[in-house]
Structure 1
Amino acid sequence: MDPDLPTWDKVFATWRDYVDNRRTPTTLASQTAWRDLRRFAAIHGVEMPGEVAPELMTAFVQDMRPRIEVPTLNE
């Protein structure tokens, strides 16, 4: 683990603070997906966000898809 790489918390804080007055509900909703990515990465041996590769993101999306699929247009 490279101590010079930004941590998960620092990357999330940078995203959160990038837009002035980002709405709290947006930040809270995004934390769930962020925590899921962090957990998924750890399971695959990735400890820092700078180590995330496109292949891991593809696998993460595939893993997440069944949990967030909307069964109908109205939902």
Structure 2
Amino acid sequence: ARVDVRQGSWFLPIQDIDGKLAGLLSNPPYIPADQISGLQAEVGQHEPRLALDGGIEGVDDLLLLCKGAISALCPGGFVGFE
């Protein structure tokens, strides 16, 4: 199996492969913005806010990923989130 690892802001690094992606795995931010300050110290002090802050309801990035997956995935492609 061929694995191609790319890094960047969600779908920007893979614009050239729309409709060809076999799978999408991600651990996007999912904590509501107003709850970040109340996190346990070991979480809030060791993770950048960008990795934690999922927007007002905590689903901003999840929604972007689901929407983008529609055009990025090939037929039968899968999505997995932590």
> Could you tell me the TM-score, scaled by structure 1's length?
0.31
* Structure in which a larger fraction of residues adopt strand: 2
> Could you tell me the TM-score, scaled by structure 2's length?
0.30
* Structure in which a larger fraction of residues adopt helix: 1
